[in-house]
Amino acid sequence: MIGHDHGGPAGYGQPGASTGSTYVPPPAPSPFPQPAPQPSAKPRTSLAVALEQSRYRLMVTAAVVTTVFTAISVKLAMATLLAGGGEPRQHVALEVGDTTTNRADITDRNGNLLATSLVTQSLYADPKLVSRPEEAAQKLVSALPDLDYKDVLGKLSGDRRFVWLKRNLTPKQQAAVHRLGIPGVAFEREERRFYPAGPLTSHIVGFTGIDNNGLAGMEQGFNKRLTEEPGTPLQLSIDLRLQHVLKKELAATVQEFSAIGAAGIVFDVRTGEVLSMVSLPDFDPQDPTGLNPDTLFNRATLGVYEMGSTFKIFNSALAFDTGKIRVSDMFDAAHPVKIGRFTINDYHNLHRALTVAEVFQHSSNLGSVRMVQQVGVAAQKAFMTKMGFTKPTGLELPESGWPLVPNPWREVNSYTISFGHGISVSPMHTVAAAASVINGGLFHKPTLLKRQPDGEVPTEQVVSRQTSDMMRRMFRFVVTEGTGKSAEVKGYVVGGKTGTADKQKGKHYQKNSRMSSFLGAFPMNDPRYIVYVLVDEPQATAKTYGYATGGWVAAPAVGRIVKQIGPLLNVPVVDENTPEILNSTYLNAAGSTNWQQSLPPVTAPPPAKGSTVASFPTQTKPR
C-alpha cells in the first residue's frame, strides 16, 4: 500500500523523505524568553589579577584609616567639647594632691615657717635620643646661662642613658627649656627645701643636700622624723621675733668692735627652752656650698672656749653649796698666788682683803683661788661634773662640742678653773648651768623643741635653794655696783656676770686676742630669762677708753637686747626700789642682805612754828 506524506523536514516524514520513515512533530515553542547564548570565557591575564588585588588592599587600608581618624575625632571632641576644653583650668594645671611633699615643715614656737619643701622640676637627658648634641647644648645654654657649654656638650655626647643637666629649675626656667622642644631632654619631679627666714636661723635649722637629706642643724638631727612624718610640722622653741633682735644687736657689736665673730643665746630658765640662738658670721641655707668654713661654724654650741670670769658664777655657787663659805667671809686679794712656775694675779688689784660679794663684784681672780683652796679639788671636780661641764649638753643639734677638761684634775687646774681658765666649754654649757644657779637650783636639759604647757620638764636639783637665792643677789649686785653696770635696764631688774678670757694660741695666751662676754638674767627677783652675749676678738675703741673687756663690749649689748625683748616676752616693768624687790635682790659689799640697815639715818625736820602735829622720821629707799 502506498502511504500518504503529511509534510515536514526531510527524514521526518516530509516530502522527499525516504519511504518507510516515521514522522515526529517539532517541540512546541517555550512561553518564556530564552537567554542569549554566552560566548566562551577568555583566560585572565596576570596584570588583571594584580590590579584586582591592589584594589582590595586600598579598600581595606582606607577602612582602617577611616576608623582610626574617626576614633581620634571622637576623643578630641570629648576632650574639648564635653570635658571642659578651651583654656586650661587651675585644678588641671596644679592639683592640690600633687603638691604633697616628702619632708615635714619646721616652724618656730609661734608657727612661723622656718623650713618647707617646694615641688620643683629637674632637667635630665638621654644622650642616645639627642640627635644633634652641639645644637642642643647651644640651645640649653641660651635658655639656662648658668650652664657650661662644654659640660653640657660632654654629657649629651656621652654613652650613658641618663644624665642630670640641672636640678631644681624655677618655673620660668622650665618654661624656657620646654619651648626649645629638644628630643631626649625631659623633666623629673623633685623637691627643694626652702628657708623663709634665710640666714637668720641658719645655724639652728641647718640645710639639706641636693637629694633633700639633712646635712646640718635640725634638718640633720631630725632627718628621720622629718621624712617619716611629713604631714606633721616640727615645732621649735625658737621665737623668730627674739631672733631678729638678737642678731641685730650682735651684728652691731661685731661691727663696732671690729670682732671676728659673736654668739648669743636667749634661754628660758624655767623650762630649758632655747628661745633664740645666733652665731656670727652666718650663711645662706639656700646655698651653703663654697662658703668659708667659719660661716658654717656654730659658735654657740660647737665652739668650746675658756669662759673667763663668767665661771666665777659656778665657783661662788660651789663655795656656798658646800656650807663652808658665807657671802661675808673675807679672802686675801692683795698678794699674788704662786704655784710652781706660775703666778696668778688680778686684772685690777685692790690690794686688800675682799668679801665673797666683792670678789664677785670686782671679778677678783685671787679671791676666787682662795675660795677654791678652802673647798678642795675633789669637791670642785664633782660640782663641775654635776653642772654638765664634762660632757656635751645633749642639745638636739649635731653640732654640739665636747668640753675640754683637765686630766688629771690637779690643784693647779682647780685654781685656774675657779676664774674660767683651764677648762673649755660651749656658751650653751655656760647658759644651761647658770640657769640652774638662779632658778632655785633646778637643772633643765637645754632643748630646741617647744615644750607643751602641760608637759613635764626633766629636772635635777644641783644646788640648794639657799645657794640659788644668794646667787640671784650676787647677779644683781654686779649690775648695780660692779662690772656689769652698762647692762642695767630700768624696770627689768637685770643681773649678771662679766667675763673676759685671753685666747690661747699654741702654748701661750695672747693679751690682745680675747673672748669678751656677759651673762645677764632678768628679772632677778623672779628669774625667767637669761641673755648671753659672747664677742670673739673685739678691738678696743676710743669710746671704751682702750678697753675691750666683757663689761665694755658685751654688757651694753645685753642691756639693749633686754630692753627690746622684755615687752615681747610680756615681762612687766616694775619699780626696782620697792620693798618686795629689794627683799629678794639686795646685797651690799659687806655681804649684808638687809637693805633697810643700809639706809642713811634720817632726822625729822623741825616742826613748823605753831604746829601742833607731831612729826615722825621716815626711811627713804635707796635709788
Indicate if the pLDDT at residue 39 is higher than 60: no
**pLDDT tens digits for range 575-623:** 999 999 999 999 999 999 998 876 555 554 554 444 333 333 333 333 3
Give the DSSP letter of residue 200. G
CB 518 within 8 A of CB 533: yes
**pLDDT tens digits for range 248-293:** 999 999 999 999 999 999 999 999 999 999 999 999 999 887 778 8
**pLDDT tens digits for range 431-467:** 999 999 999 999 999 999 999 988 889 899 999 999 9
Mean pLDDT value of segment 300-304: 96
Annotated active-site residue in 122, 202, 237, 309: 309
Cβ neighbors of 488 (< 8 A, separation 6 or more) are 479, 480, 494, 559
Confidence (pLDDT) at 560: 98
Global pTM reads 0.78
CB 260 within 8 A of CB 535: no
Encode 203-230: b = buried (16+ Cβ within 10 Å), e = exposed: bbbbbbeeebebbbbbbbbbbeebeeee
The residue with cell 644646788 is 463
**pLDDT tens digits for range 458-470:** 899 999 999 999 9
Q: CA-to-CA distance for 125 and 148, rounded, in angstroms?
A: 15
Count Cβ atoms below 10 Å from residue 369 Cβ, excluding itself. 24
Please report which confidence band the pLDDT of residue 85 belongs to, taking 50, 70 and 90 as the band edges.
very low
CB 463 within 8 A of CB 441: yes
Average pLDDT, the chain: 86
Choice among 86-90, 139-143, 195-199, 491-495 with the minimum mean pLDDT: 86-90
CATH code for 247-597?
3.40.710.10
Cβ neighbors of 520 (< 8 A, separation 6 or more) are 479, 484, 487, 494, 495, 496, 530, 531, 532, 533, 555, 558, 559, 562
Distances (CA, A) of 337 to 351, 415, 549: 13, 9, 23
Q: Which of 212, 182, 181 is nearest to 195 (CA)?
A: 212
Indicate if the pLDDT at residue 6 is higher than 70: no
**pLDDT tens digits for range 390-428:** 999 999 999 999 999 999 999 999 999 999 999 999 999
Cβ neighbors of 377 (< 8 A, separation 6 or more) are 409, 410, 411, 413, 414
Q: CA-to-CA distance for 174 and 171, rounded, in angstroms?
A: 5
Q: Strands 495-505 and 234-235: what pairing?
A: unpaired
Q: Which helix (H) or strand (E) holds 120?
A: strand 113-125
Confidence (pLDDT) at 120: 86
Based on C-alpha coordinates, what's the Rg of the chain?
48
Residues linked to residue 186 through DSSP beta bridges, in sequence order: 124
Domain-by-domain residue ranges, the chain?
106-153+160-176+186-236, 247-597
Indicate if the pLDDT at residue 96 is higher than 50: no
Confidence (pLDDT) at 601: 54
Please report which confidence band the pLDDT of residue 90 belongs to, taking 50, 70 and 90 as the band edges.
very low
User: Domain 106-153+160-176+186-236 is in which class?
Assistant: alpha beta
Concerning whether 328 is annotated as a catalytic residue, the answer is no
Q: Which of 373, 366, 367, 406 is nearest to 390 (CA)?
A: 406
Amino acid at 474: M
Mean pLDDT value of segment 210-225: 94
Amino acid at 356: V
Confidence (pLDDT) at 35: 55
Indicate if the pLDDT at residue 366 is higher than 50: yes
Amino acid at 557: A
Confidence (pLDDT) at 621: 37
> How many residues comprise the chain?
623
Confidence (pLDDT) at 77: 73
**pLDDT tens digits for range 476-531:** 999 999 999 999 999 999 999 999 998 887 777 877 789 999 999 999 999 999 99
Distances (CA, A) of 395 to 81, 214, 401, 587: 61, 17, 10, 35
Confidence (pLDDT) at 486: 96
Indicate if the pLDDT at residue 72 is higher than 80: yes
Q: CA-to-CA distance for 43 and 21, rounded, in angstroms?
A: 47
Choice among 6-20, 163-177, 374-388, 465-479 with the minimum mean pLDDT: 6-20
